[in-house]
Structure 1
């Protein structure tokens, strides 16, 4: 029996065996025979050249069909309950008419008198009247409910408008108050720029008004001189406000710094909770903050002021430097002035209270 020869293919592979070792040449045989006979899928033949072309087929086997899901319902139940019941569908009845030889009991009989006959048209009229009554009440209820909803929406809208108008008025009042505060007590650089801009605009307006008045040269010069004097006083006022704002900003910064230094430390525990802990550093900072606040008070008596100055003096003496020595000298001067003022007051030469002479 003749068998077709299986074609083979061989390649030469050069293997590197390492440094100093010559390379080995290996011959590798490759079996290119098909595993299974390919399926014939048809093809076509070229009319001119006579070449035959077959459709290609892949070697990948087709995927297995997806199994059908199990049935979810069946027509037979697993449990059957059987029971026997009897029913009487027919009932015998009879009527006995009076006749001779039969005595009937008529003690419980009653005489029924027929009422007035009601026609179908009258029944239909009664039903129609009842339906109209039900519709009238239902429509009234629906209308009252709709009116209540509209009334509620209207009240909510009016309340919203009133609240918005109130917020607008409050915002306008706050803006006006802030503008007045910026002009009466400026604190930022922009506030002073606004004041200077408005002062320059006022000066230009007044200068134009004086020149447009048609005054004589002497009177115009006098008016311009008065305008210059007013502008000078206003500039001095602005400079004084700038100095005050600088001092207030410095005091506020010192207060914030002392508050931050005196604040307790926040420690986080293992369970995630946080606790506030006062350390010796924060306690010392709190004492200094209290002394700083005490120095800013102006309603203390002479004895209270002297006691506060004594505490500040001993606190400053803990550090020996030029600044602390100047602070101690200032404290001694203020204490001396307070003592002299008290002696003058006792002698009857003055009735005023102590004033803060230094900090």
Structure 2
């Protein structure tokens, strides 16, 4: 039914009532229009009820008006359209009863203006699942009591449509006192929504590929030369000579070495300041050098601490691997035999528990299993250490049950790991670890190898002292010598260390039980290279220590300071191929080398005496084994399946 009203304010049309076949044209006053529309709407909604449809299994509620005399087939068709599910697949259920297509709400005793709940689900959820509806305009019907006259009231059914559509402002005014806005007009119809498009591609969303290309541009220059009629002064010219060529790998290696601060440049800077400045300028330069030196010392300390933290866990894992490694030996036919004792198996079990303790990102149940295994393992022995570990385990479990975050438990877990590592290093609990400890369990075995450091006032094992072959007594340990070198002398033994390593490698390959080469220390190598050989090759006078090696003068005799020669790597390879020294070299050159040997023998006169005391020394054997290359063939036998 369409109702039109024409009054002093114009013509009005009711657009909510177009389902009726009758058309009434009423010319009435606009003040009566509200009452007429209310009565018509009440008549239309009198035979409707509110249906609350619940979509299963998403549990979404959809509220809508529905005629009580309409069949459920219409309700199915409505939801089949919005859910995109065939109507014969949808099933309706109300109060536990399956609703059929030809039934109505009147059959189930539903009265007009009542609210009834209907469950909707799919009989084929795998093929046609019911999904949640998005941006659904839910509606609801309420009953409003309207006063029509004095002591006369009428109940009117009003349908409320909830939508997120914002009506456009088409003009109006705002009251200055109350602030209420009055609109001249508005729209009732919700605009059509633009469907969302999927799989939209454009050029801007593609992956960007970056390409880097270097280009050397040409640079044209010109110079004015002296010629007839033109004189050009050369007083400001500079003579440029090409330097040593180095590859890109060497360049990056130099940059990497330059990033780590080095203190041994101080001597050069100090000599430059003393040679260049004087008076107040010299004091200012020395103060700047001292400030820069202080910053570099602090930076070195930070780098050392970072390196210590990074290597600490690796050192612990290496120690545990040594304890749990099986005993091996080689048979006469070349096969390797491995044997595991009960102590090795025990050490491997403790190592696995320690690895589990150090694991990160474990769930709460996994962490509790690890702590339970640790608790049963530690309970086997009763002492103060195990009691403290058990208390920390109980504390962590209690905090985990209270919901404490993992970040707040890092300190407690680190204490548990540290105490358990002390538990592993105790020979009473792990018998295999006694063979790998620096301090043996029996103090009598360690008594003869203890020495006193006069600098740090500590009693330390003999391995902590760097004894020169020319020394008569032991005064300072390695740490004190290194600290004194950093603060005063600032001497770098890095190149001499590489030179000593190359000497070890060459001597191990001879396999003639040479001992003197393994008694040489860094200070001895420095004296031998600088004072005896003048830091240069005996043949070509090449002075780069990175290219020099100390090899035997007579390869049939054991290496010693009086049976060696400093050569480059290529010269050393050619020297070792000589069958006779007298044939390969000039007599004058041989006389020069023997003179250097006499000087070295006078300075290192104590080395033969020291070497005579070394009989199957385990430290010398460890050095040999460290620098020996394993070139023996390895036999790998396939493992046959057990019957």
With the shorter chain as reference, the TM-score category is: 0.3 to 0.5
When Rg is computed on C-alpha atoms for both structures, the one with the higher figure is: 1
**More helix by proportion, 1 or 2?**
1
